[in-house]
Amino acid sequence: MHNAEWDNAHTDYTNPATRPSPTGLTDSEADWRRLHLDTPNGWLLRRNAMLQTLTSGQPIHLMHITTALDAIRSSGQLHASAGCLVGALYCAPLTQEPNGFRPHNLGSYLLETKHNTRSMIIEVTPDGPVPAKGLDYLRLGGIHLRTYLNRRAFLTDAENAQLRRTVVERVHAVAGFLDVLLANACGSRTLHVEFIDRLAAAVQDLPFLGYLYFEVLSEYLMLHSTTSQTKEYAEASGEMNNRLGKRLAFSAVASMGRLFDLALFAPDHHQLMRLVGQVEPGLAPGSADYVRRRLPHLFACLALAPSQDAASVTFRDCDFDRLVAIAPGLLGQLVFRETRRLPRYPQLFPVFEQAKALEVYDYWNTHKIPTPFNGTLPKGEIGVNPASPAVAGCTVWEAETCERGLLHPVEQLDVIFVPRLTDLRITALGRAAFPRGH
């Protein structure tokens, strides 16, 4: 069901396919793939330890941290989150060593920074090699839009009218800059300072641009970093340095520690130079140019229908139906985020989000993917598919961390995975947006 849409939302890092894209673009996806492979850490896109574990067909060990271990133990159930790959349980890879389980650098970062949490080890034994296909959440716009169009009858007339009006107003507010993005994707060269400053200003009206901005910068840092820490993670552990992106996000937005919300990620040019300089000084000079080249291309591919000519599209004076036709990816991302602003969203949450989760479970099970990962890059953000037949027989332990940073199983837990999303009211998003638990 809707297999082509879900295919388009996944990136295969060992057998890359060419996705349909709008015409008129200066570069192709294959051009960028070649450029990425030629960076200092580009080899990790195809040969990192996480992908090798998945494609080996051997048992997969994952770390999950939680503040709700007692509730999990009491209920005997593990649920997934809509905030993790549509509907997975957020984890980081573990490598089994003689003296314990070594966490991926993402996992060690979480252990260092997420206080008052407890750790679990999850062992999944797949039926065979798992495809190296990761879900790229930036490419979910068309699926978000289809879900809304199929389920808008659950909204009141007033809610629906307000949602449609608001998303069109948001596009109109930044239409000039969106046209600049398309022009740059088709060969124009806006000055770096002007481009970054306009991008930063546009995030407030179009929060999706904050997500795109962050992922482009994370890509730049992880592929180009040459610090000793990055080299050690790559050469000794076969890992991309996920800490670079974490440091960038938490330095850019003071409230990231309470809720990781990339809709707030909007550094202007001066701030960008400072932030990247703090992470890795040598990468600061090239960061604005990379964003100016990379982000417009990605935006065009993510936002526009493949039938469009990017050189002739304009966002000026577009109404809702026109956006459905020319930019379903962008419109879907806007609708998705605007739906979450509705006062009734806690009641509507299962209508929209559980529906998408069931679709992606069907896709993952069809392709025998028990452990999907974040496909913007294979950077160690991996999940558990709670509906996978392979996960039905998995083993889960409570774990402790020793002074060397290794995890050790201390008690096997009698729990099962349930293919149902965690109640919104007990998630970070729910607590932040709906503190009274409406």
Find, among 236, 237, 256, the residue nearest to 246 by Cα.
256
Per-residue pLDDT of the chain (438 residues; tens, 9 = 90+): 588 999 999 999 998 888 999 999 999 999 999 999 999 999 999 999 999 999 999 999 999 999 999 999 999 999 999 989 999 999 999 999 999 999 999 999 999 999 899 999 999 999 999 999 999 999 999 999 999 999 999 999 999 999 999 999 999 999 999 999 999 999 999 999 999 999 999 999 999 999 999 999 999 999 999 999 999 999 999 999 999 999 999 999 988 877 889 999 999 999 999 999 999 999 999 999 999 999 999 999 999 999 999 999 999 999 999 999 999 999 999 999 999 999 999 999 999 999 999 999 999 999 999 999 999 999 999 999 999 999 999 999 999 999 999 999 999 999 999 999 988 765 555 455 555 544
| Sign of the torsion formed by the C-alpha atoms of 311, 317, 321 and 323 | positive
Distance CA 101, CA 112 (A): 16
CA 265/CA 248 separation, integer angstroms: 10
Residue 46: burial class (beta carbons within 10 Å; 0-12, 13-18, 19+):
middle
Residue 309: φ, ψ to 5°: -100, 110
Whole-prediction pTM: 0.95
Sequence-ordered list of residues with C-beta below 8 angstroms from that of 23, at least 6 positions apart, any chain? 308, 309, 310, 311
To 5 degrees, how large is the angle CA 215–CA 218–CA 219?
85
Helix (H, G, I), strand (E, B) or coil at 246: helix
Instruction: Give the number of other Cβ atoms within 10 Å of residue 3's Cβ.
Output: 12
Question: How many other CB atoms sit within 10 Å of the CB of residue 71?
Answer: 11
d(CA 351, CA 346): 10
- List the structure tokens of 83: 């905030």
How many C-beta atoms lie closer than 10 Å to residue 311's C-beta?
17
The pLDDT of residue 39: 98
Measured in degrees and rounded to the nearest 5, phi and psi for residue 123 equal -110, 120
The pLDDT of residue 407 is 98
Q: What is the structure's pLDDT at 88?
A: 97
Query: What local confidence, expressed as pLDDT, does residue 259 receive?
Result: 81
- pLDDT number for residue 437: 46
**d(Cα 73, Cα 115) in Å, to the nearest integer?**
20
Residue among 428, 437, 181, 154 nearest 302 (CA): 181
pLDDT for the residue 427: 59
